[in-house]
């Protein structure tokens, strides 16, 4: 029975006692869900402490915890130990292409589509091959043997030597991540990630109910000691070793080895995303190389070769072969052989390398322009498609909307944040996306002026 009378007590949310039914925790959760969905509780409203509600409803604290947990996994509320439970905002942070008119795109990272002329030439050649029909049927769900040979070749360029038995073809980088998370982890599992990471990965993890545990970084990437501190808590770790998104930080060999050692010692599962390896130094080895028994390694061709064809490669440890390959059947059945054929042909006829070379030239030029307006810290990748610009706190307010008013799409660091609170403020600027270098200059100049007052 309640210790006090609550009749005149002010709670921000009061479930109706009379509507309680068995099971208690479900009936409470559905009342809360109803009130949030119907707008009676606005985003960021602080709910009463679990203890107060439990007392008010005359039930046990942990029954209340369970009710809240149900709503939390649905994304309706979020809880901070020591602080309280709050109604979740319904904003989505995932980044994807919108068809804007007259907006300079510096938000989403376009992979420099100028090289697509070289791709379309190869497409034209392929349709004249006499085996075209064999590319249009159901066979080889994991990739045709010579498609896998090309994949192996491409993965070797990133300094990972794999048997074709440990390689499959996926429908792009995001698809590889979805595959890795659904097959290697269970809902409720925890995964270590950088404090700032790729927002579509954050949303994917949310969708699959995999909890992210933020780990601090320094100028060389994730700090090994910080990973070690959480590794009894987590089942795996997600890393982008070259040109981490959004910070543009690349790990040196020492850091890669240090992280690998921790992953091996604690038998974590490594999800390595090597999407930008083609922009880094040629002698860097993937972390997976040092974690031969616990890795899933994804290397998309969307940024390096062509984005529209949606082809990614995934390589994995022997012990994961069954899980990954079965996951591919479950999520996709297969990836189109025609699309894989185009990428295979580009790799085999050397055009893929030309494309990479050309992209590097173009992005070097754009980075040079960038330095006319802002600095590039020494630890960040020179040839990055995007830059991570620190801004003062007072400049951060509504900065995305304010930039959009000036005709520029950018993203604020909060989108990339896996923690609840942010300290430092940044914006990520995609310098590969503006249509040409003139547009890039216009964008950078506008931003410089916008930030100007507050930057000094």
Partner DNA sequence: TAATTTGTACCTTAACATTTG
Partner DNA sequence: CCAAATGTTAAGGTACAAATT
Residue 80, contacted partner among its own copies, DNA, none, CB below 5-8 A by kind:
DNA
Q: Could you tell me if 149 and 164 are in contact, meaning their C-beta atoms sit under 8 angstroms apart?
A: yes
Give residues in contact with its own copies (CB under 8 A).
73-74, 92, 94, 96-97, 99, 108, 110-111, 113, 116-117, 119-120, 123-124, 127-128, 132-133, 135-141, 171-175, 178, 182-183, 186-188, 200, 203-204, 207-209, 302, 306-310, 322, 326-327, 329-339
Our finding on whether 382 is near DNA (CB under 7 A) is no
DSSP letters along 397-425, please? TTHHHHHHHTTEE-EEGGGGB-SSS--SE
Decide whether 63 or 336 has the Cβ nearer to DNA: 63
Angle between helix axes 337-348 and 116-126 (nearest 10 degrees) is 110
Q: Could you tell me if 371 and 419 are in contact, meaning their C-beta atoms sit under 8 angstroms apart?
A: no
Q: Could you tell me if 444 and 370 are in contact, meaning their C-beta atoms sit under 8 angstroms apart?
A: yes
Q: How far is the CB of 302 from its own copies (least distance, A)?
A: 8
Decide whether 12 or 330 has the Cβ nearer to DNA: 12
Decide whether 60 or 97 has the Cβ nearer to DNA: 60
Residue 175, contacted partner among DNA, its own copies, none, CB below 5-8 A by kind:
its own copies
Decide whether 1 or 333 has the Cβ nearer to DNA: 1
Our finding on whether 79 is near DNA (CB under 7 A) is yes
Q: Could you tell me if 437 and 419 are in contact, meaning their C-beta atoms sit under 8 angstroms apart?
A: no
Q: How far is the CB of 57 from DNA (least distance, A)?
A: 9
Beta strand 217-218 pairing with 221-222: antiparallel
DSSP letters along 161-218, please? ---GGGEEEESSHHHHHHHHHHHH--TT-EEEEESB--HHHHHHHHHTT-EEEEE-EE
Q: How many residues bind DNA (CB under 7 A)?
A: 27
Q: Could you tell me if 412 and 396 are in contact, meaning their C-beta atoms sit under 8 angstroms apart?
A: yes
Our finding on whether 209 is near DNA (CB under 7 A) is no
The b/e string for 25-59 (b: 16+ C-beta within 10 A; e otherwise) is beebbbbbeebbeeeebeeeeebbebebbbbbbeb
Residue 425, contacted partner among its own copies, DNA, none, CB below 5-8 A by kind:
none
Output the CA angle 68-71-72, nearest 5 degrees: 85
Place of tokens 């390694």: 297
Q: How far is the CB of 246 from DNA (least distance, A)?
A: 22
Coil/strand/helix, residue 231 = coil
Residue 191, contacted partner among DNA, its own copies, none, CB below 5-8 A by kind:
none
Terminal CA-to-CA distance of the chain, rounded, Å? 61
Q: Could you tell me if 155 and 286 are in contact, meaning their C-beta atoms sit under 8 angstroms apart?
A: no
Q: How far is the CB of 186 from DNA (least distance, A)?
A: 14
Residue 4, contacted partner among DNA, its own copies, none, CB below 5-8 A by kind:
none
- 77 - beta bridge partners? 87
Per CB under 7 A, which region of 21-29, 87-95, 114-122, 388-396 contacts DNA? Answer: 21-29
Q: How far is the CB of 390 from DNA (least distance, A)?
A: 23
Our finding on whether 74 is near DNA (CB under 7 A) is no
Our finding on whether 25 is near DNA (CB under 7 A) is yes
Q: How far is the CB of 248 from its own copies (least distance, A)?
A: 20
Residue 327, contacted partner among its own copies, DNA, none, CB below 5-8 A by kind:
its own copies
Residue 33, contacted partner among DNA, its own copies, none, CB below 5-8 A by kind:
none
Decide whether 117 or 456 has the Cβ nearer to its own copies: 117
Residue 41, contacted partner among its own copies, DNA, none, CB below 5-8 A by kind:
none
Q: Residue ranges of the alpha helices (H) in 74-115?
A: none
How far out from the chain centre does Cα 399 lie? 22
Our finding on whether 12 is near DNA (CB under 7 A) is no
Our finding on whether 59 is near DNA (CB under 7 A) is yes
Decide whether 14 or 66 has the Cβ nearer to DNA: 66
Q: How far is the CB of 48 from its own copies (least distance, A)?
A: 25
Instruction: Give the total residue count for the chain.
Output: 456
Instruction: Retrieve residue 137's tokens.
Output: 């049927």
Residue 174, contacted partner among DNA, its own copies, none, CB below 5-8 A by kind:
its own copies
**Where on the phi/psi map is residue 425: left (φ > 0), alpha (ψ -120 to 50), or beta?**
beta
Coil/strand/helix, residue 331 = helix
Decide whether 72 or 380 has the Cβ nearer to its own copies: 72
Residue 392, contacted partner among DNA, its own copies, none, CB below 5-8 A by kind:
none
Residue 81, contacted partner among DNA, its own copies, none, CB below 5-8 A by kind:
DNA
Q: Could you tell me if 209 and 240 are in contact, meaning their C-beta atoms sit under 8 angstroms apart?
A: no
Q: What share of the chain is helix, strand, coil (3-state, %, to 5)?
A: 45, 15, 40
Furthest CA-CA distance within the chain:
84
Chain residues that interact with DNA, rule: CB under 7 A: 22-26, 47, 49-52, 59-63, 65-66, 68-69, 72, 79-85
């Amino acid at each position: 029975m309640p210790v006090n009378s609550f009749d005149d007590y002010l709670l921000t949310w009061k479930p109706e006692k009379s509507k309680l039914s068995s099971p208690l925790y479900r009936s409470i959760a559905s009342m809360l869900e109803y009130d949030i969905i119907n707008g009676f509780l606005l985003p960021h409203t602080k709910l009463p402490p679990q203890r107060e509600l439990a007392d008010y409803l005359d039930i046990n604290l942990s029954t209340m915890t369970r009710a809240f947990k149900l709503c939390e996994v649905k994304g309706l509320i979020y809880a901070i130990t020591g602080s309280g439970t709050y109604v979740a905002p319904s904003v989505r942070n995932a980044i994807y292409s919108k068809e804007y008119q007259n907006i300079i795109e510096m938000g989403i990272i376009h992979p420099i589509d100028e090289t697509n002329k070289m791709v379309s030439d190869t497409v034209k050649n392929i349709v004249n091959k006499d085996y075209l029909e064999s590319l249009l049927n159901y066979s080889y769900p994991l990739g045709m043997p010579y498609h896998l040979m090309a994949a192996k070749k491409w993965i070797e360029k990133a300094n990972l030597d794999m048997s074709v038995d440990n390689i499959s073809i996926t429908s792009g980088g995001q698809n590889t991540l979805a595959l890795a998370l659904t097959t290697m982890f269970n809902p409720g599992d925890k995964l270590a990630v950088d404090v700032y990471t790729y927002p579509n990965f954050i949303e994917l993890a949310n969708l699959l109910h995999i909890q992210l545990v933020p780990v601090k970084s320094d100028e060389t990437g994730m700090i090994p000691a910080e990973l070690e501190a959480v590794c009894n808590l987590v089942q795996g770790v997600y890393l982008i070793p070259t040109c981490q998104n959004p910070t543009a930080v690349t790990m040196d060999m020492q850091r890669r080895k240090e992280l690998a050692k921790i992953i091996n010692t604690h038998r974590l599962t490594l999800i390595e995303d090597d999407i930008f390896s083609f922009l880094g130094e040629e002698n860097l080895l993937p972390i997976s190389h040092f974690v031969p028994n616990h890795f899933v390694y994804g290397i998309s061709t969307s940024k390096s070769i062509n984005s529209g064809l949606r082809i990614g490669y995934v390589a994995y440890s022997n012990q994961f072969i069954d899980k990954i390959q079965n996951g591919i059947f479950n999520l996709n059945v297969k990836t189109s052989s025609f699309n894989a054929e185009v990428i295979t042909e580009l790799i085999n006829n050397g055009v893929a390398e030309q494309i990479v070379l050309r992209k590097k030239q173009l992005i070097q030029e754009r980075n040079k322009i960038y330095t006319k307006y802002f600095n590039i810290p020494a630890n960040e990748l020179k040839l990055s498609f995007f830059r991570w610009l620190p801004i003062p706190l007072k400049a951060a307010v509504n900065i995305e909307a304010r930039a959009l008013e000036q005709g520029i799409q950018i993203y604020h660091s909060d989108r990339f944040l896996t923690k609840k609170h942010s300290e430092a403020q940044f914006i990520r600027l995609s310098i590969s996306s503006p249509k040409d270098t003139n547009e890039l200059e216009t964008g950078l100049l506008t931003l410089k002026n916008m930030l100007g007052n507050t930057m000094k």
